[in-house]
Amino acid sequence: MCGVFGAFCKNGESVLEDVYLGLYALQHRGQESAGIAWNDGKDGKVLSSRGMGLVHIALDQQQLSSISARSAIGHVRYSTSGASDLSNAQPISANYSMGSLAIAHNGNITNASGIRSMLESRGAIFQSTTDTETIIHLMAHQSHKPPLDALVDALRKLRGAYSL
């Protein structure tokens, strides 16, 4: 069980503090780690802050409130797969040929182990033990497609119950 919270503002106002407060309200859904990923709207890069423990320990509210970002996602973690360490804290972000992306996920991908083995046999190098990273690798292996199409194709390969 985890908590996922996201926000977007059309008029350019920063949403980072809103996402921080949303995660704080979802703290009961996960207390192992917390993280926020955002796009500053300047160069398309995804930036993030993640830490272990409760939201107010893992994330610096004052620092986040000073950053301008019109879109962000956040995650509080209670692990059901993968170890309880910083490498498994979400959102997980990556840069690939089509740009930058971040994913936060709640649930259990039941065929993640098999997909991971297949991807590793094709040269994928995983940085965590969480099943969430499988989604990013599936997308990266379809780098000829726009990100949304790559995501849809990746999700078709997954089994289990989850939300992004």
Residues marked as catalytic: 2
Close Cβ partners of 114 (under 8 Å, ≥ 6 residues apart): none
Q: Looking at this protein, which amino acid is placed at residue 143? A: S
* Closest among 74, 84, 60, 157 to 116, alpha carbons compared: 157
Residue 147 gets which letter from DSSP? H
Bridge-based pairing state of the strands 33-39 and 99-103: unpaired
Buried b (16+ CB within 10 A) or exposed e, 30-45: bbbbbbbbbbbeeeee
